[in-house]
């Protein structure tokens, strides 16, 4: 089964995801969709991509959020409704499994599908949607998974949008003597099998996506979407430091003391407002041939 994520981490990163995704690619997707698009959101988590992309689409739309974690799915529905009501929009539940957000440009109809994405695309309702989207997913999957997804989308001429795929380019400022050590362990962790039928693509994700969809005749566009975490983002910077150290340690156990020293120093810098971080990401949009 594919690995999942902690809801608190997803909430913590949502603001940084939102300001990092490339708006131009999202607008190109919105323009390519029909008047009332039906969107399939893979690995939807707490609904972060829906909340961001739905505003860019800006008209009546229907979403199916796919995730294997029932708790995250429930949290997504609650969060979407709460955020809508916080800005003065009505959120109603006409059915036990359906949420309607009554937005000015038209209602957003939202449903959930509990499914293990390792089995995709076989269990996905691709015949009932107009586009497939995801965020921070494709660097976790295998090359075989990407090729299957590209073939399935091509059969139905569906656009495919994948935001926030890691590139492997990272910079912590100021420098630390153990930066290269931690980066090496972290990169190795990015490529381990995450439950999608083979080694994770990690930084090779956008390249593999571009190759697979180009082979199906798609037009592929890419744009940078780096996280830029300045010195004021103390809590998020500390969380990134902790995550990097935890991921690197299993691959560099002989250097456990050095990793612990790095993590301690970086956490102190973060909390003192002295640490800035840049994490490379890239967005990708694949549009089917006319």
Tell me, yes or no, whether 270 lies in a domain.
no
In the block, residue with structure tokens 């910079």: 171
Percent of the chain with pLDDT over 70: 98
Look up the pTM and report it.
Answer: 0.95
- DSSP structural state of residue 105: T
Whether 159 contacts 33, CB under 8 Å = yes
Domain count for the chain, please give it: 1
Residue 133 reports pLDDT greater than 80: yes
Q: List pLDDT tens digits, range 61-89.
A: 999 999 999 999 999 999 999 999 999 99
Question: Concatenated DSSP letters for 123-174?
Answer: TS-GGG-SEEEEES-TTTS-HHHHHHHHHHHHHHT--EEEEEEEEEEEEEES
Packing angle of the helix pair 48-57, 23-32 (nearest 10 deg): 60
Output the pLDDT for position 5.
Answer: 62
Tell me, yes or no, whether 120 lies in a domain.
yes
3-state helix, strand, coil in the chain (%, to 5): 45, 25, 30
Using alpha carbons, select from 101, 119, 105, 104 the residue that is nearest to residue 50.
Answer: 101
CB half-sphere exposure, 59, CA atoms < 13 A: 10
Q: List pLDDT tens digits, range 210-219.
A: 999 999 999 9
Distance of alpha carbon 276 from alpha carbon 103, whole angstroms: 37
Question: What is the largest distance, in Å, between two alpha-carbon atoms of the chain?
Answer: 58
Range of the domain at 129: 7-168+199-228+281-287
Total Cβ atoms within 10 A of residue 254? 6
Helix (H, G, I), strand (E, B) or coil at 250: helix
Whether 78 contacts 45, CB under 8 Å = no
Tell me, yes or no, whether 267 lies in a domain.
no
Q: List pLDDT tens digits, range 176-194.
A: 999 999 999 999 999 999 9
Residue 108 reports pLDDT greater than 60: yes
The terminus-to-terminus CA distance of the chain in angstroms comes to 36
In the block, residue with structure tokens 């036990």: 96
CATH code, domain with 68 = 3.40.50.150
* Residue 156 tokens, joined: 């139905």
Tell me, yes or no, whether 261 lies in a domain.
no
Q: List pLDDT tens digits, range 14-46.
A: 999 999 999 999 999 999 999 999 999 999 999
Tell me, yes or no, whether 31 lies in a domain.
yes
Distance of alpha carbon 178 from alpha carbon 175, whole angstroms: 9
């Amino acid at each position: 089964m594919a690995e999942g994520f902690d809801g608190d981490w997803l909430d913590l990163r949502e603001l940084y995801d939102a300001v990092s995704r490339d708006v131009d690619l999202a607008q190109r997707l919105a323009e390519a969709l029909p008047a009332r698009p039906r969107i399939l959101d893979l690995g939807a988590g707490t609904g972060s991509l829906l909340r961001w992309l739905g505003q860019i689409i800006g008209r009546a739309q229907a979403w199916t959020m796919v995730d294997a974690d029932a708790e995250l799915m429930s949290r997504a529905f609650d969060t979407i409704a709460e955020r809508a009501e916080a800005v003065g929009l009505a959120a109603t539940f006409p059915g036990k499994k359906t949420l309607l957000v009554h937005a000015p440009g038209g209602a957003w109809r939202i449903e959930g599908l509990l499914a293990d994405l390792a089995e995709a695309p076989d269990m996905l309702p691709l015949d009932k949607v107009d586009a497939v989207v995801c965020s921070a997913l494709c660097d976790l999957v295998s090359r075989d998974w990407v090729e299957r997804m590209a073939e399935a989308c091509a059969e139905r001429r569906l656009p495919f949008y994948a935001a926030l795929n890691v590139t492997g380019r990272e910079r912590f400022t100021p420098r630390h003597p153990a930066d290269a050590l931690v980066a090496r362990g972290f990169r190795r962790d990015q490529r381990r099998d995450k439950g999608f039928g083979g080694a994770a693509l990690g930084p090779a994700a956008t390249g593999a996506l571009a190759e697979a969809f180009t082979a199906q005749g798609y037009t592929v566009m890419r744009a940078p979407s780096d996280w830029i975490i300045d010195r004021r983002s103390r809590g998020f910077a500390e969380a990134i430091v902790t995550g990097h150290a935890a991921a690197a340690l299993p691959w560099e156990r002989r250097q456990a003391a050095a990793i612990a020293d790095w993590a301690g120093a970086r956490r102190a810098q973060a909390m003192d407002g002295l640490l800035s971080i840049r994490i490379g990401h890239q967005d990708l949009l694949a549009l089917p041939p006319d």
